[in-house]
Amino acid sequence: MRVSYPTVKHYILVAILFVFPIMQKASALEPMATAPRCVSRPTPMFDSSPEQELIAFAKKLLGVKYRYGASSPSNGFDCSGFVHYVFKRFGVALPRSSSAMGQAGEDVSLTQAKAGDIILFTGTNPARRSIGHVGIVLSNSMEGGLRFIHASSGKAQAVTETTLEGSYKKRFMKVVRVTPS
């Protein structure tokens, strides 16, 4: 059987995102051994965290045109289609709609938001306080503020990077984390 490189990379990322954290939690529950054990630690396979791998992949899609209801690079993306596509690539199952994504994962405060978290906004009518837009947090720092990547139906009409300011700050609803911390 021949296995492609993207398939192998996918399984490695799934293991890093889901299996290793479970193994670490399980080993933390074991009683302390009085004699030293010879345990080999897995060596890191990537120079960056799984979240940074996800961000790097999402950034490869910058400039893909916005298209309502679409969820692929060849046809374009709407906001939830983009987020769904990126996370699916890394084995994270998400609902397809932005409002349903707001119910996925664990709520995180804006100050605790980190790369790989999902950021949710109202739709284009900020007076209507229900989730209608979604993106992925790229970074969150005191110096640069919060930056996110999303498929925008606004001026860009494409996948773009944006800072949390202006109308997006007014439309902000919440942040959810769907990857293990």
- CATH node for 50-177: 3.90.1720.10
Query: What local confidence, expressed as pLDDT, does residue 138 receive?
Result: 98
Residue 149 corresponds to which tokens in the numbers above?
């990547």
Q: What is the pLDDT along the chain (181 residues), one digit of tens a residue?
A: 454 555 545 555 444 454 444 444 444 433 333 333 333 334 344 456 889 999 999 999 999 999 999 999 999 999 999 999 999 999 999 999 999 999 999 999 999 999 999 999 999 886 789 999 999 999 999 999 999 999 999 999 999 999 999 999 999 999 999 987 6
pLDDT, tens only, 147-162? 999 999 999 999 999 9
Q: What is the per-residue pLDDT for 181?
A: 63
What pLDDT is stored for residue 49 in this prediction? 86
Q: What is the pLDDT of residue 6?
A: 54
Write the secondary structure of the chain as one string of H (helix), E (strand) and C (coil). Answer: CCCCHHHHHHHHHHHHHHHHHHHHHHHHHCCCCCCCCCCCCCCCCCCCCHHHHHHHHHHCCCCCEECCCCEECCCEECHHHHHHHHHHHCCCCCCCCHHHHCCCCEEECHHHCCCCCEEEEECCCCCCCCEEEEEEEEEEECCCEEEEEEECCCCCCEEEEEECCHHHHHHEEEEEECCCC
Per-residue pLDDT, 125: 80
In tens, the pLDDT along 29-58 reads: 333 333 333 333 343 444 568 899 999 999
pLDDT for 42 equals 42
* CB distance 69 to 76 below 8 Å: no
Check residue 48 and give its pLDDT.
63
